Structure 1
Amino acid sequence: MRRSLMIAVAASMLATAIPAAASAAVKEGSAQIVSSVSFRTAPSTLSEVMRYLKTGEKVAVLEKTNSYWYKVRDTSGQVGYVSSQSAYLKLITAPTETADSAANAVIVASVNFRKAPSASADQIRYLQKSEQVTVTSQVNSYWYAVTDSKGVSGYVSASSSYIKLTGSVAGGGSSSSTGSGTATGNGTATGNGTTTGNGSTTGNGSTTGNGSSTGSSSSGSSSSTDLSAKAEAVIAAGMAYLGTPYEYGSDRNTTATFDCSDFVRQAFKDALGITLPSDSASQGAYVREHSAVTTDWKQLKRGDLMFFMDYKGTSASLYANKSPFKTKIGHVGIYLGDGKILQTYSKESGGVRIDTIAGRHWEYRFLYGGSAL
């Protein structure tokens, strides 16, 4: 009898913990952390802690998973679960269902959300995996015009690697391309009309993103475009691991956890099939052998690797005596442009994440950087 009762209680708890499939779109709410609390990968105290949300942090509330947990997104874009207890979180606005959602697509892998249909256009942010968006039109074979759940409009790759249509697109595409290529990533295109990203093609008789032909391109331009596309592919692969827990000396044969060099290595392996050395110092030597490097991080390009000395503290004076090519490398990350770095460095920080460089110890510790391509 007691055993049967325990099974019934467990089944009831499991049913409560698993949210029913949503039949309507949800308008996200907002909340503020009132006391430091675990930010977890799943709605369970047995799940991994990505990091601790700090007092005063604001989060977007995506759903009330059950009576005990909220699914939330922090300001860096990481999505996870947090206790719904008022001792830890103050709900400002609750997530609400909207019966007739205009969403007609879902993001299947993290992708650039840009202000114009071009790989050189300013980035609004990264759309995250599983986000629902509304595709308002297809600009050409390579770009969709979309609106996110907050009403922000922009452009995203039309590649099925990044977005999946779940409904019809009103009015269809607004223009057509005349090239023969298909978009497959976040970068730009190379060669004879075959694109490898969100950008425009510049090969023989191919399109420039709006359906017009640009004729033949030079080999130098093609090479530069190819490198840009590869860099975007590496970044997209790395972004797919946002929130993956940190572990020093992580197993290079799994993606369950990463240390800094393992994460960089996996991003290149996933995106391009390139296997970099397994530690940051060796990766630094690899970059110096394969490309020109710079000691000014502001001169780096998207997708370049950044190498740092060990952490000594937050004051710039602690790093005054560093020697870029003699000081031991202790950390590596991927430069995103706009003063941002994609990296992982501690359990407490929540694993793979995006950080700002300027005015922080990252800037003071920086030794050199360059391309691994």
Structure 2
Amino acid sequence: MPAPTIPYAPHYVPAPATKEELEWAELPIIDFSAASTPEGRAALVPQVCNAMQTYGFMYLVNHGLTQAQNDRIFDIADIPFSQVPEDEMKRYTADIKGTGSYRGFKPREVWIIDNGVRDQLEHYNTHRSITELQSHPKALRPFLPEMRAFTEYNHEKILHPILQILARGLELPEDTFVKMHGFDDQSETYLRFMKYYPRTDEDEQKSKNVWLKGHTDIGTVTILWSQPVSALQILCPDGKWRWIKHIDNAIVVNIGDGMEFLSGGFYKGTIHRVRQPPRDQQGYPRLGVFYFGSANGDVLLKPLQESPVLQRVGIVRRFDDEKAPTMDQFRKGRTAAYGLSELTKKSDVVEEQMIHNVPVRHYN
């Protein structure tokens, strides 16, 4: 039989990697090739769990997709921003505040960053099923089968093994977290294509070069496909902001609040931010591909007290168990409020808001 025809997508050419000497975060690099077997996952437990306890971030390499497949998904990721007319973009714009969902487009200048400066990023979000819960702009439709294959791969070959390893680290049955992350659930585990655009010098000065304030992610596990424009920083255990280095065809993985709550603080939702790139990359856009893992919508975000590990080391709570929100409540509340609601200033660098009895902090 003839091979299926792959639709044409203009090739996206990213910026060259920076040559500047930056202070890089020394994150663990995990060889993920062994994660497909129970024995391999067991062997990865010490490395992965130490990374998620210490940094909340790690790199994965040898995850099964080639550089060519990686390049292809970035070509597709640019379609919503470069090939969709503005009037059609508006028709597919998400009602973020009204629905607490990012499905569809988020245009630029929706969020206030600092001192009246608004964001310069667009993103396009789709539920992992791709076509079951939303429709898409015409230019993106030829690529929907490839997007579906990509979300399935992220969910089953990357997210699930990570969840299995994290469960083993808590000495829980390996499928504990997997059961909470059904592919067919309508919760907001979603694929995001995101593009940052350069800002004016005036806006950079007003916002202290911060493009997205320091925050923790909403869900359980975030999967970020590495790209060469350096802008992501994490707040390291010693209190210093350090840059995340680009590694070709690698994945950057971090823990979100959902997993921190479920693990009783054993795994850390690390604070991270996006700032102006180094000098030799300024003027370039920054295109990103993400897979945001969240637990099923009805999962209560309270510690799994049956964990023998938590029984030994204790539980760190940010709210009482009886006030625990569901994943859906927490996600919708944070999504609807982010960048669109008043924050309480706690210090010169920390602002706070309450989302379903949970204190959520932002760092500037």
> Shorter-chain-normalised TM-score: which range?
under 0.3
Greater RCO (Cα-Cα under 8 Å, separation 6 or more): 2
TM-score, scaled relative to structure 2: 0.26
TM-score, scaled relative to structure 1: 0.25
Structure whose residues are more often strand by fraction: 1
